[in-house]
Amino acid sequence: MSSPTKVPSKALIETTVLTNALLKPISEGKVARAAIAKISETQLPLYAIKEFKAGPLRGYVWFYNKVVSSSSWEDAICAIPLIWRHHNKMSTALKALTDFESSISKRMPADLAMQYPGQTEGEIRRAEAAIWLRTLIFRAWRNRRKLTTRVVAPLSCYPETDPELKRNGQIDDTPVVCGVEDCCLRPLFVKDLTKLDELITACEQCPEKPETQKRRKALRRLYRFPTRDLNESDCRALGDAVFAIQCPKDAVVLTTNIADHHPLAHAIGVSALSPDDM
């Protein structure tokens, strides 16, 4: 067994670590929170908050809204496989379901029966899931800026809008996009075309998947047309490359996704580290 990596003094927190720390009460969450606590200075770029709200948090919001709008617990569960085309949302909803089941399994059935007299097991689970998910979602959003030493790299085009609980009991998490024609990240990438070219080359070392192809395409478009507007789709596609280019030289990118982040970070002179290695 290899010895733990030396704890860095400064780290830029990436979206996967933010997600684990805020949404996963056990296992990955404990590892993420422990890693962050060990580092003297932790920086959270606003881009991570944007990705968190549009991705993982949106999956939890979707599942919560499905629970409160479905006529039964069984209907809410059966809705998850129906979104299989949205793989990330489906996997996030399944993770939320798993963690909820783990949580409710610690409750005594007799206590739950007393709390919900005359209700079926499905009705009890639906009511408890709604409370558990709603609490987790709003607590995660409330704590997003409290997890790290400071929030850095503001995005002038991104409205950081709080989710809202509507009168019908559902959560409205819009907007999750900037809604501008030209992303404020474009000048950051095109100010150094050499770095931009290195990021493009580094994509060849990343796992070959649709996400990598989209990132490579967005980076190439920036390189060829540095003055052309960077739209929302390309902003999302840049993804992991944003953390590499925003990471200070004396810091590391803290991420659970080393396979993607290491080549990108290494290409421009920074490094990536997993919480598991600390």
Q: What is the pLDDT of residues 123-173, one digit of tens each?
A: 999 999 999 999 999 999 999 999 999 999 999 999 999 999 999 999 999
Kindly state the DSSP code that residue 145 receives in the 8-state scheme: T
**Any alpha helices (H) in the chain, and if so which ranges?**
15-23, 28-38, 46-54, 56-69, 73-79, 87-104, 109-115, 121-143, 186-190, 193-202, 210-224, 232-238, 240-246, 258-267
Question: What are the residue boundaries of the structural domains of the chain, listed by start?
Answer: 10-178+246-277
How wide is the angle at C-alpha 268 spanned by C-alphas 266 and 271, nearest 5°?
35
Give the C-alpha separation, 168 to 65, whole Å.
10
The pair phi, psi for residue 152, each rounded to 5°, is -125, 180
Instruction: Return the percentage of the chain with pLDDT > 70, whole number.
Output: 98
26 band by pLDDT with thresholds 50, 70 and 90: confident
pLDDT at 232: 96
Is 2 a residue whose pLDDT tops 70?
no
Give the C-alpha separation, 45 to 10, whole Å.
13
pLDDT at 6: 83
Give the C-alpha separation, 222 to 224, whole Å.
6
Q: Is 150 helix (H, G, I), strand (E, B) or coil?
A: strand
Tokens encoding 260 = 């993607």
Q: Is 10 helix (H, G, I), strand (E, B) or coil?
A: strand
55, 41 Cβ separation under 8 angstroms:
no
pLDDT at 178: 93
Mean pLDDT of the chain: 95
